[in-house]
Structure formats: C-alpha cells, structure tokens
Structure 1
C-alpha cells in the first residue's frame, strides 16, 4: 500500500474510533469490542507503549507496580491492554478508544490500591484496560511561589526529593510511604505525619488537569468547581484520569524532632493507649503522635515541627506517663525525618526516596475505622489476646485534631474531620495458599467485628484510601451500578458527601465509563 493510502486508511480508522463514541443503546458492547479497541489503540497511540496479552512483556509490565501478592494469582481477571502513558495525549487516546468500543479504562499511579482495583477486576466482564501513569512523574517546584506541579505517576518520594533539592524550608504533608503514587494518594484525601498542622494532601491542591469521559483535557477553570471538589478526596477511578496536580507547599522549620518509644503490655501499654486517645488529638498541632500496636507492644512514634527541648517539655506537661526524655529524641531536618519514618532509622541517603519498590513480596488485607469517643481501658486490655492468635497482624492509630478539626466536613469529599483518630487494621503474610489466606483474613475480620461497638456508627466510617471490598461492591458488572447498593459502602467512605459525589458523577460521566467494583455510580434522575 502506498504511503498516501496508508495515511488515508489511518485517518479513516481514527475517524471511526473517535467519531462514534456511544455504545449500543441497550448497553450491550459492540461485537468484537476488544479487537476493535486494540486496533484503535494501535492506530492512535505510538508504538511501544501498548501491551496486550500477546506481548511478551505484558506480565512484567502488569506486575511492575503491584504491591499485593493477592492480585498476581492466575485466576485474577486482568486488563485486555496496558498503556504506559508518557504524555496526556496518550491518556486521551486510550479513553477515546475505550469510549468508542465499550472498554472501560482504569488508571494506575503507584499501585498501592489496597484492593487492586486500579489494575485488576473481580469479574472477567466487562473488559477493561489500564493506563499506567508511572512515566508521567515530573515534579516542577516553584520555590518563590511555594507551589509544585506534579504528575500523577510521581511517587511521594519523588515529590519529597524534588522539594528538598530546591529548598530546606519547604515540605509537603504526604504519607510515610515514599512509593505511594501521587494520583491515588490525593484522590482519596491523603494524610501523613503533618496532617494536624496542615491538613490532608488534597486540602493543598490548587489546580489539576484531568482527562474526562469524552477524552478532553481540562484544568480547574474548564472542569468547574464541582468536579474540582470531587477529585480532591472522592476516590480514584471515579470521574476521569487526573494527569497532574498543582500543590501548595508548606513551610517547615530548620529543625524537627522525632522519637520512637516502645512500651509492652507489662510496661503499662494498656494505660498509655487509653490516655493517648485524649492526649494525641488535643496536643499542639506541631506535634503528631501515632501508635502501632503489634504482638504485645504499643510503639509510639512522633514527629514534632520544632526542637527537642520543646518536644520534651510538651510531652512532660501533656503525657508524662510515656516518659519521653532527651535521650529518646533525635533532632534532624524535615527531609531526614521523611527518611527516618520511611526506612525505620537514620543515615539513609536521600536518593532512596526515588526507589519505586520491588515486585510484591507479601499478601495483605486492610480495613479501617474512625473513633469518635475514647475506647474504654477494658477493651484495650482485652484486645491484647488478639495479638497472640495465629495470623495476627497489627493496628495503626493516627490522631486527628488540629487543622483537621478546623476544616468543615463538606469542604472536600473527605468527611471524617471530627474523629479523634483513624484505625487501620493490617494483616499480612508471605505463605501462599488458601489456608494461610483464610487464617490471616479471619484475624483481621474478627478483630474488626470485635471493635464494632466502640467506633463510629450510622454509618460506620472507613477511609477510601484503605479500600475494603468487604463493605460491598457494585452489583451490576455490565456498567449500570445500583446507587442504593453503592450507598452502603459509599456513605462509609464519604458520609453525607456521597450523594453530592454521585451528583457530580451524573454530570460528568453519566454513562459510567470510569467504573470499577467500588466506583461511585451516577445519581439516578
């Protein structure tokens, strides 16, 4: 075929792909939708960035950002195609092809999605593709304006590294995990060790660019304030694919102080946990004091935005029972504190923040709760027995208060502002097989049931970035999710904000193109 004929044929295929977006009126997918979709990708995207089941590199590309061995088993439904986007136009091309041929598109940034819904499906139908954002990872820091534009495929480690290379007095309140992808982190709200001083990561989003269900690339002005509100905490994979985020950076002091103090059950850990519930959320907002409970030990971890002397004095006045003294505390820079909590100690080079992780080496399951009234001492004492059971995992308790409690619950989709603290239940194991899985899953679900009387109610709250399919799934895999059924888990994540999120969904994605087993459905008319 002559070059001119090839060009004309490509234009024809492109027109077919991008000029007929609507699926069949009855919702059925067009015949040979997967083949036509892949043909559309081949015409409209550059070679070398699309991987199908026929590609030799498909398994390695798929697993490159998977963090949970539960989702690399042979029976896991996988995408018909992976698009390694390096530019916003690649995201647009994938979305337009998907909309034309009835193939839903999901996006993956860091791959930390606790239920793997950014890259896998629970059911084998309908077919779906994944746009991997890992190569869209540029971080542009503007020190004078104290802002940064960040690609959704960047990790938090990329962000911390870029900021520290530009300024020792700027930071960002991200999580302790440097391999967490920015796209998913901000989409769910995103909290870390500076949340009591500066709020959620999503509270600091000033602008964003998003590819919508029509394949348009929109900034804040073009998307409108309703959609801009929804993407800052409304959960990933619901409204479009965010390509980049403009963040307001925060000022950090020249010196911060950290400590890690372990107290066992026979060293008054029960009494310390009981009092911690009143102390941690009411401390000055410069102090963050979390607890990790594992085995028969409560580990208290603190970041203080100030000097050792001031932290010791504050703890002596507010929580003397913990016994914090100067020898427990280490002064360092803010970026050194990021490395301290990420890698469990001092002396790590800053370049470690650029690591994107290795292949998954563990199975895990997580659940979450919010505590609004202090849990009685006898409950904590009773709970120690759970950590003696086979299959025991751990609890992470993150306090709120400070800036969190000063922001209205409807200011962003994240509604849990008034809670005392968040609970993460985390079970993990390395043994394969159903017996090991059942043992550990039984532990985490059992402790979760045990805690029900003592956590938030009507609804029992949950954090969307600790996604949990035990709360429920969309019942119609053909793409028409039930709003009433989705409310069960939707209101756990979003409380009164769920209806507004569904209203935004109906406006910007009425055909529910961006969907997964726990995505927000459009609000029915």
Structure 2
C-alpha cells in the first residue's frame, strides 16, 4: 500500500467521522441537566426519584399537586416547566442551581404554591421548576424556644409539631395551614398574633440558603446584608432558601376566639365599622380583630318576593387571654360590636389555629398535616394600606360600590402594637408605624372560561380603583405576599431597574434601593429572577 493511498484512507475515515458527528442531534436539555447533576453530588440511582420530564407519567400530578389557583391549572393553556426537580437533601438543591445555570434556563422555586399569580410554577419562557415539598423537616427545641423548619414544610405542619412538643408555645405566622414556609416567611409573614409579636420575619434567627454559586450558607457565612434581604424581600430573588431558624413565642393555656356577623340593614353596623377602624390598632396588644366586608345575596322570606343584595361585616378575633378580660376590653373600647359572653369561645392556642382555618369544633390537630388544602377555586387578590380612618359616608359609598359589583370583597387586617415599634428599615417589609390596617381585596369564582375570568378580574380591579382616595399614596403601598402582577411586571430587559422600581417601591418603599444593592452584590448576573424579582444595578441583557 503506497503512502499516498494510506493518507487518502485516513483522510476519508476522518471526514466520515466528522460528518457523522456533525449530523448527530445535540444532547437534549434533559440529558444535559441530568449529566450535570450526576457530576454534582446526585447519584445516577437517585435521578429518576427526583427529576421529571414532561414524558414522565408522574410529571402532571407533581406539577398540579401544589397549584392553589384554578386560573393556572388548565393543562392545555398553562405553561409547563421543561423539567421538575423535587430534591430530598440539601446538596441536591445546590446541584440544581449549578446545573440550571448550565442550561441557561430560568429557575422557578416553589414551596407551597400559594403565590396568587402562580409565578413559582408558570412562565412565558422555558424554565426548570424546583419544588421543595420533600424538604420539610421540623426540629423543635423547647429549652431555648426555637425551631429549625425547612422551607418545603407547610404552616400546619409547623403548628402541629410545636403543639406536640408544648401546649404553651406558638409561632406568629399565617392562618392558612397549607401555605408553604419558604414563600410565607421570606415575603414577610402575616398572622393573627402580629400585634403582640410582630411579623413572622421579626421572629427569624437564622437561615440556610443556596447561593448563585451553589454554596450552602447560614447567617454567618451569608452576611447580615443578605440575611436582611431574605427576611421580607422575597427569597427567590437572592437564592434558594433551605430552612429558617425561628423564635417561638409563649402563648397562654387559654385563648379566646369569636366570630360575630353584622349586616348593614342594622343601623349600627356601619357605625361599628367606623369604630373598629379607630379601635382595632390601638386596643390591647393581646387582641387581634380581623374584619371581613363581603357582598351577599339575602333570600326573600316572603313567597314570590325577590332576593336582595346586602353587605355582611364579620368580626373575627383571637385574644391571648380568657373571655372575662376580653369582655371587659370590648365593652369599654368597642361597645358598638355588641359582643356577648356567648360569642366568646375559650380554647387552647392549637384549637384556635383550627378555628381560624375554618375547621369545625370537633376537628383534631392532625388535620393540620393535610397538605392538599381546600377545593381548587379561581381567584384574584390585591392589597392596600390605610393610614387614615375612612369616614362613615366613605364607607357607605364603598358598600354601595361592592353591592353593584357583585362578588369582590375585602379583608381588613389591623396593625398597631408591636408593628408600630419596629423601624421601617429593620427588615425589607416597610409597612409598620402609621398604618391602621391592611386591605386584602378578594374574589373567588367557580365558573370556567375566559368570560367569567374577565368579569371577576374586572370586579376586583374596579373596586381597587374605587378605593384610591382612602388608601396610602406616593407610593400606593402593597404587600409582597399578596402578589399582584397588575402593579408591574419586569421582562428583565435593558429597563429592568426602572421596571422593577415600579412595583418595588410599592412593596418595599425606601428599602427597595438597599435590596437592589444586595441583589447586585450576591447575584450580579441576575440568575434568580421572576416577573417581580429584585433587579440589579447593572443593566442586563434580556435573559427570558
């Protein structure tokens, strides 16, 4: 064989090899992601247990298990993740962050799925969803009254575990037991003991977090700036929060609960709402009185008569003490409520948790371990803050507006007490002193279809617009955990900072600028991002 012929054969073999390689399909995102995970501390034998592609039979059931808003449940119209990952140990979370960066996809982080706009599990661009539900261990230390709770736990599990260890310890957090710890705490956390003990984040001692480089950090190693940011600034902008260490609080063996309904046909009801505004934030810190304002249909009593529309005002309270002391307080400071001793139910703190979650009086605390939650509704929420009492004629016009709209309601949540003692800059959550109460606008519906959705969304937006004269201004404040995309969306383009400021000042007021600085320091390339995340100082190329 001549040298020239041998060279020709070698060239031909090389050419065929290159041609074959060039025409072979590139590895899929799934393959790239899985290969990366196996390099980063996830054994091949564990992959099938925690990583799901859309072709996996369990994919849809896992995706839908923690969707709490029917608007985003439709399998044909709701965008789906490219991959779902359900880690079982902390090191796997670190691997997910590293490997998602390699795919150049967006990462969405879900704990309980109660984010009202669904941004933890939907997106307009390809994304990987990190679902934390397997990471839900809870460790209670009754000696120093602390607990470590992983962010995939729900509030009901936390309350139950505290109760199992002690009947005189509790924790100030939300009243809905299926809310995930991760989003609730990192967004501020609001419950019926805030006038006594402040927000949930006011009782956070430490945290564990995976940063953009895949490092697992605690408070000491992450530094006080980042620790400050995740206590109310929304953890998903800064990393993946694995767990919080929280300070438990002492609760009395006997607390008192009441739920009293009044209707505007009673001439004293509107006066009672006026008085509530002037009392609820100033009364004894042991008392928290929520007020629900809802339009209702009153069925006619006479045969053939038409039903009428009305407004129901429902006063729901938790008092950290017995009914005798409560009655003394109410009769002196809030007589228009007309509270009677028969309205007051004395119980343990854990039973009050069940009552606030709308369980009946025979329900056992084990019900708090149910992660499924209520039947799925279509819903929309918005928020406002009230700094000056709404006059009686203003309330009357609001009630008329609500009746004309049909279904949109409001929840008034009182402030005062401990909330007024904490400076606005102590945490990213700035809505502290000077606030009488927070409003949650609420509308739920069961009808399917875009026509119904358009109608109900129009109702709540119309009511929100109508309330403009009565609420905070410059900025019109909003609560991060009542996520509302109506107040601004960030496409992460060249104007990211300016667009972020639109909603950021509503959620965080002057704390927004400090959050941007922390974000720019810990995640300068804006990997952790969503439709309302904290932007960076540096202008970013459009990333999704």
Same fold (TM over 0.5): yes
* Structure 1 residue aligned with 2:23: none
2 CA distance for matches of 1:359 and 1:254? 29
Q: In structure 1, what is the equivalent of residue 160 of structure 2?
A: 161
Secondary structure of the 2:382 match is strand
Are the aligned partners of 1:64 and 1:359 in contact in 2 as well (CA < 8 Å)?
Answer: no
Q: Give the equivalent residue in structure 2 for 1:182.
A: 181
Deviation at 1:386, TM superposition (A): 3.2
The match for 1:117 is 119
> Residue 322 of structure 1 aligns with which residue?
337
- Aligned partner of 1:461 in structure 2 is 477
Partner of 1:275: 275
Deviation readout 1:40-91 (Å, 9 max, x if unpaired): 3466532211111111111110001110011122222221111111111111
Write the deviation string for residues 147-187 of structure 1: whole angstroms up to 9, x where unpaired: 00001011110110000000011000111100001101101
Kindly indicate whether residue 146 of structure 2 is the aligned counterpart of residue 147 of structure 1: yes
Query: 3-state DSSP class of the match of 2:80?
Result: coil
C-alpha distance in 2, partners of 1:161/1:238? Answer: 30
Q: How does 1:244-283 map to 2 (within 5 A)?
A: 244-267=243-266, 268-283=268-283
Per-residue displacement from partner, 1:96-126 (whole Å, max 9, x unpaired)? 10112212222111110111111111x1x2x
Counterparts in 2 of 1:183-332, with a 5 A limit? Answer: 183-267=182-266, 268-295=268-295, 296-332=311-347
Deviates more, 1:228-237 or 1:100-109: 100-109
Name the CA shift for 1:481/1:49 in 2 (closer, same or farther; >3 Å). Answer: farther
Q: Which residue of 2 aligns with 1:474?
A: 490
Partners of 1:222 and 1:247 in 2: CA distance: 18
Mind listing any 5+ residue stretches in structure 1 that lack a counterpart? 1-29
The two structures, once aligned, show a CA RMSD in angstroms of: 1.6
* 2:362 is the alignment partner of 1:347: yes
Number of aligned positions between the proteins? 491
Counterpart Cα distance in 1 of 2:530 and 2:150:
23
Question: Which segments of structure 1 move beyond 4 Å, counting only runs of 4 or more?
Answer: 30-35
- 1:495 maps to which of 497, 509, 521: 509
Residues 294-336 of structure 1, C-alpha deviations (whole Å, 9 max, x = no match): 1210000110000100000000010011111211101011111
| Residue in 2 that maps onto 1:13 | none
Instruction: Indicate the larger mover: 101-110 or 384-393.
Output: 384-393
Label 1:308 to 1:361 Cα distance change in 2 as closer, same or farther (>3 A).
same
Label 1:170 to 1:481 Cα distance change in 2 as closer, same or farther (>3 A): farther
1:82 to 78, 81, 84: 84
State the SS of the aligned residue for 1:448. helix
Match in the other structure for 1:404: 419
Deviation readout 1:7-43 (Å, 9 max, x if unpaired): xxxxxxxxxxxxxxxxxxxxxxx99656523543466
Structure 2, gaps ≥5 residues long: 1-25, 296-310, 540-544
What do residues 441-492 of structure 1 show as CA deviations (whole Å, max 9, x unaligned)?
Answer: 0110000000011100000000000000001100336xx6610111010000
> How far, CA to CA, are the matches of 2:479 and 2:153 in structure 1?
22
Matched residue SS, 2:88: coil
Tell me by how many angstroms 1:145 deviates. 0.7
- For 1:394 and 1:359, how far apart are their aligned partners in 2? 19
How many Å separate the matches in 2 of 1:205 and 1:89?
Answer: 23
Residue-by-residue CA offset, 1:385-428 (whole Å, 9 max, x unaligned): 23334551221110000000000010000000021110000111
Matched, 1:438 2:454: yes
Cα distance, 1:366 vs structure 2: 0.4
Instruction: Quote the offset at 1:274 in angstroms.
Output: 1.4
Whether the aligned pair in 1 keeps the contact of 2:178 and 2:373 (CA below 8 Å) is no
The match for 2:33 is 37
- Mapped partners of 1:270, 1:42: distance in 2: 64
Name the counterpart of 2:353.
338
1:130 shift after superposition: 1.2
Are the aligned partners of 1:34 and 1:103 in contact in 2 as well (CA < 8 Å)? no
C-alpha distance in 2 between matches for 1:292 and 1:523: 41
C-alpha distance in 1 between matches for 2:518 and 2:29: 28
Shift of 1:345: 3.7
Q: Kindly state the Cα deviation for residue 272 of structure 1 after the two structures are TM-superposed.
A: 1.3
The residue that corresponds to 1:384 in the other structure is 399
In 2, distance between residues paired with 1:158 and 1:511?
A: 36
| Conserved 8 A contact 1:255-1:331 | yes
Partner of 2:10: none
User: Is the partner of 2:121 in helix, strand or coil?
Assistant: coil
Q: Which residue does 1:516 correspond to in 2?
A: 530
1:8 alignment counterpart: none
Structure 1 distance, partners of 2:254, 2:381, is 34
Q: Normalising by structure 1, what TM-score?
A: 0.91
Q: Whose radius of gyration is greater, 1 or 2?
A: 2
